[in-house]
Amino acid sequence: MRPLTPLLALLAGALALPLTPLGATAAAAPDGTYIVQLKPFTREAPRSLAQDQAARYGGQVVGVYEHAFKGYTAQLSAAAAEQLKSNPNVLSVEPDAEVHTFAQTVPTGVRRIFGPSNPHLDIDGTDDVRVDTDVAVVDTGVDYTHPDLNVVARANCQTGLCVNNSGNDDNGHGSHVAGIIGAIDNGIGSVGVAPGARIHAVKVLNASGSGTLSAIAAGLDWVVARAATIEVINLSLGCSGCSSSAISNAITNATNAGIVVVVAAGNSHANTSGFFPANHPDVVTVSALTDNDGLPGGLGGNRLSCRSETDQDDTSAFYSNYGSTVEITAPGTCIYSTWRNGGYNTISGTSMASPHVAGAAGILTAGSRKPTSRAGALAVRSTLISSGNLNWTDDSGDGVKEPLLDVHDSAIY
């Protein structure tokens, strides 16, 4: 689901021009507008052919096209349009039609955490409220030109040295994460937990979704240097059995500076204690919930809209890591969000659960509520946990039921 293609945008722009004929002979009143595609091997210039044909068939030329295809748009009677189809220089004659942007979808994850129930978020398809918060997405980069995202800064840190105003998303993962956090409530595509949140795109992973600890270290350093501006970091990444004293210290120092660090638990259906940086004591570690209908109550069955597997509604996602290291759970299965190249996609993982919580942390730290100390950042983590609900089924088998993210309370969020 994407905005108008360049061709359609071109046609839309052409149709907006005054309908001034370039040279037409009066005839039967036109019945409508038609797109005439000329045969590509035609030697005569499209503009000349358009003028000649419009005059011959009693039409009025609107616009001439020579780059995306050879042809023109003209106002014609229905009879003239039918006759024009038999012209030896004409490939096709098509009636014009109205096109629209795709209507905005409120993803199941945003609905399951009761985002639309919070009047402060004003999720209504109109871009009149943007959450006043800054969130760093340390990931594969973010599509910084996406019309549904508010990307205000970016850096490419893959080499271990961050280059400002560089790095785009060549994978899609980072753009998806960014949309869950803050896709704009503008009537198109998706909407995020914190609509319109300012996204700082920090590219540390490559096109295949892989990267290095040194790149993450550089990315975190870039973010902490902007601690006066950035409230939240989302890390939907990690590794099993690895560790880094440098990155551990970077996360601690980010927390000490008042930045809330949110991390995905991992997708190995294993104990999170063996995964870094999800096992860091200062972060908010997020497991994934399977929600099939955007509603509480476990009535959504077990069919997954985007996967071949089945998983019961309102239960622990079958792939999610678990254990006492996890602080909170959030929807992560079949989540619809923004994608690279201006697109949208539906994917699953704790990588999708984490940005739900990062968006909620953005709401809690918006505007004058921005924390500036370790105590302030950890207080936000405590609020995320204490405001969650237990209206879900923990079938992970770990015996520890973490709360489910819940942003409905406008007195808190």
pLDDT band at residue 22 using 50, 70 and 90 as cut-offs: very low
For residue 8, is it within any domain?
no
CATH at 85: 3.30.70.80
Asked whether residue 18 carries a pLDDT value surpassing 60, the answer given is: no
Residue ending a domain, among 39, 65, 95, is: 95
pLDDT tens-digit map of 371-388: 999 999 999 999 999 999
pLDDT at 102: 61
Of 90-104, 208-222, 228-242, least confident by mean pLDDT is 90-104
Catalytic residues: 139, 173, 351
Tell me if 22 is assigned to some domain.
no
Three-state DSSP class for residue 255: helix
Lowest mean per-residue pLDDT among 13-22, 89-98, 135-144: 13-22
Q: Is the predicted pLDDT of residue 280 greater than 60, yes or no? A: yes
- The two tokens of residue 370 are 């921005």
The set of residues, in sequence order, having a beta carbon less than 8 Å from that of 235 and lying 6+ positions away, is: 138, 216, 261, 262, 263, 264, 277, 283, 354
Under 8 Å between Cβ of 263 and 325: no
- Residue 236's Cβ-count burial label (10 Å; 0-12, 13-18, 19+) is buried
* 116 and 146 belong to one structural domain: yes
> Does residue 33 share a domain with residue 140?
no
How many separate domains does the chain show? 2
Using the 3D structure, point to which of 45, 74, 95 is the last residue of a domain.
Answer: 95
Q: What is the pLDDT of residues 316-326, one digit of tens each?
A: 999 999 999 99
pLDDT digits (tens, 9 = 90+) for 28-48: 556 899 999 999 888 889 999
Q: Are the C-beta atoms of 344 and 337 separated by less than 8 Å?
A: yes
pLDDT at 44: 86
Q: Are residues 135 and 225 in the same domain?
A: yes
**Residue 404: which of 290, 302, 289 has the closest Cα?**
289
* pLDDT tens digit sequence for 162-214: 999 999 999 999 999 999 999 999 999 999 999 999 999 999 999 999 999 99
Residues 194 and 234 in one domain: yes
Q: Is residue 12 one of the residues assigned to a domain?
A: no
Q: Which domain holds residue 64?
A: 29-95
The string over 295-327, giving b where at least 16 C-beta atoms fall within 10 Å of a residue's C-beta and e elsewhere, is: ebebebeeebeebeeebebbbbbbbbbbbebbb
What is residue 41's predicted lDDT score, i.e. its pLDDT?
84
Query: The tokens 């039921």 sit on which residue?
Result: 401
> Does the structure show a pLDDT above 90 at 10?
no
282 lies in some domain = yes
pTM over 0.85? The answer is no
My answer on whether 175 and 231 are in the same domain is: yes
* Same structural domain, 284 and 141: yes
| 148/261 same-domain check | yes
The burial class, CB within 10 Å (0-12 / 13-18 / 19+), for 408 is middle
Please say which residue of 62, 95, 128 terminates a domain. Answer: 95
